[in-house]
Structure 1
Amino acid sequence: MDLKKVFDSVCAVPGSVGAVMVREDGSIFRSSGRLCQKDEAHALSLLAKDAAQLMAMVQPAAGPLSRVTISRPGEGTVVATVYQDHVTAVKLAKR
């Protein structure tokens, strides 16, 4: 599975308002939806980096496409997937 397919499938999460894929160093690799705005994508990339650190703590028990969900009051919910040293994070619409 290539990174584009992973990104596209993660972007298809119902209720998402956009997604961002970041490298392990936190730099933005790709973004979509409302997250094409630089500030929004950067804020999500910081959450994605937090998710990557959580994933590192549970390795090797986590599978190759395991997901981490982070919810923060006022910021909404982010679902992150780690694949090939990249983290793809999807921001879900607030309910």
Structure 2
Amino acid sequence: MDLKKTFDNICALPDSVGAIMVTDAGDIVRASGDLREIHEGRHLAHLMKDVAQLVRIVQPEAKTITRVTVSRQSGVSIVATPHLSHVFGVKLAHR
């Protein structure tokens, strides 16, 4: 699956209010929805870079995609997924 299709699939998740794709170095490649706002997108890109590094430390031999979820009490969560030298993130607003 190519990166654009992966990003489009993440954007289509139920309750998604924004998505972002960053490189392993933390550079923003694409952003949509709420995550187009530059400050939020940049902060999330740094968080996702750290998440990708943490996943590689904890599971260096992992062959499957690992997801990391960060939730806030406000009903918002971020799901970060490292994939093909990129990290994909989606911001979910739970109703």
TM-score, with length taken from structure 1: 0.84
1:27-46 paired onto structure 2 within 5 Å: 27-46=27-46
Paired with 1:2 and 1:53, the residues of 2 have a C-alpha distance of: 22
Counterpart for residue 60 of structure 2: 59
Alpha-carbon distance, 1:75 to partner: 8.9
1:1-95 paired onto structure 2 within 5 Å: 1-57=1-57, 58-63=59-64, 65-73=65-73, 76-93=76-93, 95=95
Alpha-carbon distance, 1:37 to partner: 1.3
CA-based RMSD of the aligned residues comes to: 1.9
Alpha-carbon distance, 1:2 to partner: 0.4
Paired with 1:50 and 1:3, the residues of 2 have a C-alpha distance of: 20
Alpha-carbon distance, 1:47 to partner: 2.1
1:92 counterpart SS class: strand
What is the identity, as a one-letter code, of the residue corresponding to 1:35? Answer: L
Paired with 1:53 and 1:46, the residues of 2 have a C-alpha distance of: 11
Contact 2:75 2:93 in 1 (8 A): no
Structure 2 residue runs without a partner (length 5+): none
1:52 counterpart SS class: helix
Alpha-carbon distance, 1:31 to partner: 0.3
Identity among equivalent pairs (%): 49
Map Cα deviations across residues 34-87 of structure 1 (whole Å, 9 max, x no partner).
Answer: 211111211221221122122212232350x32111224569311011111000
1:61 counterpart SS class: coil
| Structure 1 residues 15 and 23: alpha-carbon distance in aligned structure 2, compared to 1, 3 A threshold | same
| Equivalences, count | 94
Structure 1 residue runs without a partner (length 5+): none
Alpha-carbon distance, 1:14 to partner: 1.1
